[in-house]
Amino acid sequence: MEKISAASAMEWSIELDKGLRSRKPGQAVKVIQQTGVRLQQWDQEPEPTKAAHKIFDLVAGEERFFLNCILLKLADAFRSGDKDIRVSIVKVFLSLFKMKRKTKRQHRVMSKAKMCNPLELLKRVKIVFDTGDLESRVLALVLFGSWAEFSRDNAHIRYIILSSLVSSDVMEVKASLFAAGCFCKFADDFAPVVLEMLPRIVASSELSSTLRAAGANVFAEMGYFSPNAINGYKMGLKLLLNSSDEDLSVSLLLSLSKLAYKSSSILPDQVEVLLSFLSQEKPLHQQSTALRCLRLLSSPVCSHPVGLVTVKPLLRIVHDTKLPISMQCHALQILHKMFMYQEMHMPGDVMREFCKVSTILDNANQSHIESNRVLVISVLADVLIKNSRKTGTELDGNCDSFPSLTWIISTIIGQIISLVKQLLDSNQSWDGALPEVLRLLVLLLFVTGEHLDQGVIVLDRIRLVIDYLVNHLPEKAIDSTVTAPPPGQEIDHFRAKNFGTSLKIANKIHKFSVACIQNLIELGANAAEVLDKVKMLVDCVHRCSLFGSYVQAVYSIQVHSSVFWGCAVNKNKQGCSPNRQLGDSDCDLLIKHEIFTLECVLEMLREKSFWQLYTTGKFAAGQGAWVTAKFIFEQIASKVRSESPSCWLKSLAQHAQCEMRIQLFLLPKLRCSLAEWSLTKEIPILSFRNISCGNVDQGISVQVRGESYGEVLVGAHNSIRSSVETLDCVVKFGNSFYFQRWFLALRMKVLITVYDVLNVLGSGGSGHAEGSLAHGLTSVQQITQCSFRLTRLAKELDLLCISFINMDTKSSNIISALALSCSLLAFTTGTAASFATVHAKDNSNLHLNRMSIEDLAGRLWIIDPDTCSILFQLLDASLGIDHPHVQPRNQKLESGEVRDITSICQDVVSRVNEFRNKLKKPVDNLEALLKVTVESFQLLLNTIVKWLQIPFKLPMYFFKTRPCLVSELFTSNADATNQNELIVQPGCDLSLSLCIQLKNVADLPTPITKLYCILYSSTSFAESSLTRRGTKTGQIQQVDFKDWHIDDMVQANEKLFRHMRVRANKTTDRGRKRPRVEEGVVQFEVNNRGQGFSSCVLGVSGFLEGCYRIKWHSCCVDGRGRYWSILPSNSGPVFTVCRS
């Protein structure tokens, strides 16, 4: 456990004293700089709580005492030190003062409340001011300003600052102006005195321009008290209007704009002033400064209604072709922000004027600065997209001059081609094309995300860029792994010079195309159209010499993914099924590109491009191309000599073997074609055992030479188990692989549970359920247990999804889709078991599995409300249901994987509702009742088959092997008489001081704003193996994935999320039955090192004598308001109940 700054204050004070006394040259400056860094760190930490004092054994007020010791030592060093020491000390306090302006935290290191005797500090610095030279007086004044928070009320210091304002030395006056501005922030009675003296400094023609500008800057510091802000603004505005000095006017414009930003009462007046400075009569420099100030004020200005008076001066600049393009771009950015804020309420006349901004593009096209053109295109595209999002169409008839989205796409593509043309044909090294091309490609990707119909057009148009590359490159094919033309090929010097850059641009285009296709798949674009464009794009890529084997393999994998996806979301519900598999053309296309991908892999193997092979394998696994993934990982693993990477690759290959086995079982034609190709190439891609290629064109046979669904699932389960065992070997080398091991374990549990269902149904050893369902009816209890297991697995997948804070959205969606599929299988299994228990004469005892229905309805609450309403009817509940597993960040799921399983959900829920309606009526015929039951079990079998036919994709987060965010809990007995051991008297409660330490916080995408921890114990948590003396403070037991109690973690996470929801809704939780455990939820304030301190009291007064375990779990909320669970890295503490 790291020490907080307050606990290290004594040590720091001693080290500072030693460093200042050292005779080693430069040691004093070095230790002062080190102390400054430590004070900045301390300044960012929250005030230590009583729990922190208990844990670190601090006396109340101890840290304040040693902080003042440090400050006094620095003040003494400033008084007696040389120039270097004084400058370094001023820098320390200036940095702390700047941090104050940014953070605005209470109880800071230099706050008045932390000072024991501030007069002693001021006396030491005042001695330097009174007795030192000019430079010493300047440093003292700067120090007084940095200490303004506690020195503002000292009359002597005030006099020193005010008298220095009339000094004859420029440096002293500038330093006193800085100090005066600092004092004005904290002392409302000091600002009027300064305002009386400022006009003399600012308006004096005898003073230098830099000194007058420094005086003008002081006006910006008057905005903390309203009367001072108004008076300061009036005085500054008067000076601005009367000034003929252009530089001084610019300084006053900036200062008054900063003042207006802080004080809303003068904001309208300042905006009017700035707009007046945009007139043609004003100098260009002043117009440019006015635009800068308007950009500063754009957020508060745009939050108010915008009129034509505000828009017209900006439009004049946009349309004035004589002005610099940079000024036009600044004006356009301001107009853009106005439109974004006011799009719902912008008046018609303003909107018509705004539509004329498209004319700036003509001026931008004449500019040699590419970033200006890109900015203009970006703004126009954003306005079009936001407006069409609001209205559902493009801009209305009042804006005929505004371009269309199709025109914007063509313009972007044309701009990209222009950049590439300059790169290939210019005699200059033009690396600046790369960021501009990337910006344009990101913009195109944004368009596809907002408008699916435009996405297909974008895919078609991007081929123009690739065609241009094809037609303007040397005829000889050049592989993408090289960075220069091959020897012997005659290419102009400038082409050779820019060849590497052109390769980079081609790589950006490749990545964009892949992302665009994935976007369209995720958002549900027309499958046939996307597949056609992908095939055309692949053919185009094959003709381009810039794209080597790696890129061509990736594009072929895209076709593989698109074929499966088109099959899965077929609107006619005639996709991959046992009776109708892929059509001949689709299947032939799949086989063609699968084999082509393997050919590319062989080429990369010959070139020994192992990193590109690994990247291709990752992409293949993420797209469900398991044959390619398995072959790649096996080949790379055989080449690696290091044990840890070899085990990692072998684990990936074993997992790919599992998924490949399921995939090829469903696609026998592909399996036979690959077997034949493998024989021809003499490459052991597939095992030729149990392959029968007869009559594969008739569709999928349920068996492949004796194999059944059950056997395939058992074989897949064994492959994953081998993968987990291999991955455990990597853990010995120091990497935890929490996500990978947990994900594989869940996949293994799901497969074996589905096998158990099929086995109970009688389908584990044969492919047909008919004739075996009678046997299944005798195993209702086993079916019910499988339903409970699947529900628990769904919740465990939820926990997995929210336990890794840096997980990407697509990986999260894949896991959420897996959780939804488990919930669907649990519902289908549970309802089939419920129907089997209905009596023929009395069907009033029909009680569907409420747990599975609630779980499924909770997941469909947002994404499919119609199906959710049917589930309500099944529960006879018209009111809402509780769904605590649904987390705020994943309530709305739009990925293709979720849509696939949702389509199956709709069919299953509809059929179950039909069965239930039939059984609501009296059934006299036992055969009719049995028919409904048999149909429900057949529905279960068909649901499992459909679920298996959804291509399984590996989340890309699986390949992130860096350590994840974990938490460690430290406990201490809050009882001062028994602090070192967790011992409590019988009949008493346990008072704990807690410290939670987050690990691996450096890579978090957003900061943590709230941190909670639940602690609970029970008499059933007795630890018989431990001594009655309890555990000592700080003694922790590290835990690994195998030591986790997942069910406890799921339960604790649900309690935490319920607590968060109750706090957010400010409601009570009285209606819910609470388990008889002693628990408490604690909130922590986390410092910048991931530490938090708190205390709690566990009600264990009813516990008998003995040793008991405290279980715990933690969660957090990030800056975006998303809920996350945090994995524990140590077990809970053990406490002892005994008599003293």
470-519 pLDDT per residue, tens: 676 554 434 443 333 444 443 344 344 455 666 677 777 777 887 887 77
Question: Do residues 165 and 176 make contact, with C-beta atoms less than 8 angstroms apart?
Answer: yes
Cα 771 to Cα 98, 496, 911, 1097, distances in angstroms = 80, 73, 22, 61
Rounded to an integer, what distance in angstroms lies between the CA atom of residue 83 and that of residue 940? 84
Cα 180 to Cα 119, 195, 554, 1000, distances in angstroms = 19, 10, 64, 44
pLDDT score recorded for residue 253: 94
- Percentages of the chain per state (helix, strand, coil), in multiples of 5: 65, 5, 30
* Most confidently predicted of 280-284, 524-528, 825-829, 977-981: 825-829
Across the range 538-561, mean pLDDT stands at: 77
Parallel, antiparallel or unpaired: strands 1123-1128 and 1111-1118 = antiparallel
Cα 640 to Cα 482, 610, 647, 648, distances in angstroms = 23, 10, 9, 10
Question: Do residues 458 and 465 make contact, with C-beta atoms less than 8 angstroms apart?
Answer: no
pLDDT score recorded for residue 895: 56
Helix 850-863 vs helix 865-875: crossing angle, to nearest 10? 160
Q: Which residues of 79-103 are buried (b: 16+ CB within 10 A; e: fewer)?
A: bebeeebbbbbbebbbbbbebbeee
Rounded to an integer, what distance in angstroms lies between the CA atom of residue 266 and that of residue 822? 60
Please report which confidence band the pLDDT of residue 706 belongs to, taking 50, 70 and 90 as the band edges: very low
Which of these, 1046, 1113, 1048, lies nearest to 749 by C-alpha position? Answer: 1046
Q: What is the percent of the chain with per-residue pLDDT over 90, rounded to a whole number?
A: 33
| Residue 340: Cβ within 10 Å count | 12
* Most confidently predicted of 155-169, 734-748, 907-921: 155-169
Q: What is the CATH number of domain 965-1137?
A: 2.70.50
687 pLDDT above the threshold of 90:
no
- Domain edges within the chain: 404-547, 793-958, 965-1137
Question: What tokens appear for 135 in the block?
Answer: 């430079």
The DSSP code for 707 is B
Rounded to an integer, what distance in angstroms lies between the CA atom of residue 394 and that of residue 345? 17
Give the CA dihedral 247, 249, 252, 253, nearest 10 degrees.
-110
Please report which confidence band the pLDDT of residue 842 belongs to, taking 50, 70 and 90 as the band edges: very low
- Residue appearing with tokens 């440019």: 288
Across the range 700-723, mean pLDDT stands at: 74
DSSP alpha helix (H) spans, 278-324:
284-296, 298-302, 308-319
Parallel, antiparallel or unpaired: strands 990-999 and 1091-1098 = antiparallel
Query: C-alpha angle with apex 117: 116 to 119, nearest 5 degrees?
Result: 155
Q: What is the pTM of this model?
A: 0.83
31 pLDDT above the threshold of 60:
yes
585 pLDDT above the threshold of 70:
no
Q: Give the mean pLDDT of the chain.
A: 79
Which has more pLDDT, 782 or 1032?
A: 782
Across the range 1032-1057, mean pLDDT stands at: 78
Rounded to an integer, what distance in angstroms lies between the CA atom of residue 439 and that of residue 421? 17
Which has more pLDDT, 413 or 24?
A: 24
Rounded to an integer, what distance in angstroms lies between the CA atom of residue 1023 and that of residue 1107? 5
Question: What tokens appear for 292 in the block?
Answer: 């800068």
Across the range 1055-1067, mean pLDDT stands at: 76
Least confident of 7-21, 472-486, 957-971: 472-486
642 pLDDT above the threshold of 80:
yes
Across the range 997-1012, mean pLDDT stands at: 86
Across the range 534-556, mean pLDDT stands at: 77
Question: What tokens appear for 984 in the block?
Answer: 């409590």
16 pLDDT above the threshold of 90:
yes
Least confident of 188-197, 672-681, 684-693, 865-874: 684-693
Question: What tokens appear for 437 in the block?
Answer: 């091309």
Question: Do residues 539 and 466 make contact, with C-beta atoms less than 8 angstroms apart?
Answer: no
Question: Do residues 699 and 577 make contact, with C-beta atoms less than 8 angstroms apart?
Answer: no
Please report which confidence band the pLDDT of residue 413 belongs to, taking 50, 70 and 90 as the band edges: confident
Rounded to an integer, what distance in angstroms lies between the CA atom of residue 1034 and that of residue 980? 9
Grouping H, G, I as helix, E, B as strand and the rest as coil, residue 970 is strand
164 pLDDT above the threshold of 70:
yes
Across the range 414-418, mean pLDDT stands at: 81
Which has more pLDDT, 883 or 1058?
A: 1058
192 pLDDT above the threshold of 50:
yes
Grouping H, G, I as helix, E, B as strand and the rest as coil, residue 479 is coil
pLDDT score recorded for residue 115: 87
pLDDT score recorded for residue 80: 92
Least confident of 250-264, 778-792, 958-972: 778-792
764 pLDDT above the threshold of 50:
no
pLDDT score recorded for residue 532: 77
> Could you tell me if residue 169 is left (phi over 0), alpha (psi between -120 and 50 degrees) or otherwise beta?
beta
Phi–psi pair at 981, nearest 5 degrees: -135, 145
Across the range 358-380, mean pLDDT stands at: 64
Query: C-alpha angle with apex 164: 163 to 165, nearest 5 degrees?
Result: 90
Chain centre to alpha carbon of residue 1132 = 30
CB contact set of 785 (below 8 Å; sequence gap of 6+)? none
Rounded to an integer, what distance in angstroms lies between the CA atom of residue 226 and that of residue 221? 12
Question: Do residues 960 and 739 make contact, with C-beta atoms less than 8 angstroms apart?
Answer: yes
